[in-house]
Amino acid sequence: MNWFEAIDIYCERLEPSFFAEPFNLWSNLGFIAVAVLGLIYAYKKQVLRYFPAKVLIVLVFSIGIGSFLFHGFANKWSQLADVLPIGIYIFSYLFLVIKSKFQFSKKQTALTLAAFLLLSLLIPLVIPNELVNGSSSYFGVAVVMLWLYWLVLTKKLTGSRDFLLMVVFFCLSLTFRAVDMALCENNSIGTHFLWHIGNSLVIGISLKIILESFAERNRNEV
């Protein structure tokens, strides 16, 4: 594999220079901002002593850096730097939220993660990536978010509004990701940068949910 092979899959990129995607590039500052705000929030909630909290914040920062590199260099190695932190964050967050928020057993947690992985592999077979600009694997994330929201409602847990906002913002941002190239003829900037902005909000809300669950654990331990 040629790790320096150029990748041109977004509307905004018209030539190979580092700053060819300014909107896609600088919109990644949203992830950095969320990481900083998450760190401040975790400090105020006194949950930085929990290793998973620190890991999630670092992963959010890594998502911003990785995506910035990809939309700058736009090649194979930077694409890997983009997708790896995202994938690790998704699985880490799902594991933590179903354990801390929903109190799943080890067996239930393992089955949930396996089902999510299977869903992520099967959906691209039903909805080809070509139809949604390489976004089909993220449809599984939307399904899981809806399921988590349903769980919150049925179990009558706190935070239903946050879970609903996550679903709404993610579906909106995923739509912007999917239509980026389809709308390119009428919009030279594209819509991928709105995926970054929307996803920053989604990740910010997801961090708030998990950090509050850690804070609840603190209160229960007192």
Q: Taking a C-beta distance cutoff of 8 angstroms, is the pair 64, 31 a contact?
A: yes
Task: Provide the percentage of residues in the chain whose pLDDT is more than 70.
Answer: 100
In the predicted model, is pLDDT for residue 222 greater than 70? Answer: no
Average pLDDT over residues 72-79: 97
Neighbours of 109 (CB within 10 A): 16
The per-residue pLDDT for range 79-133, each reduced to its tens digit, is 999 999 999 999 999 999 999 999 999 999 999 999 999 999 999 999 999 999 9
Q: Residue 186: what pLDDT?
A: 85
pLDDT-derived band of residue 66, with 50, 70 and 90 as boundaries? Answer: very high
pTM of the model: 0.95
β-strand partners of 6: 75
CB-based contact 70:78 (threshold 8 Å): yes
What is the predicted pLDDT for the residue at 28? 98
Query: 154-189: per-residue pLDDT in tens?
Result: 999 999 999 999 999 999 999 999 999 999 988 889
Place of tokens 């409602």: 153
Cα distance between residue 209 and residue 196, in whole Å = 20
| pLDDT for residue 1 is more than 90 | no
pLDDT band with cut points at 50, 70 and 90 for residue 45? very high
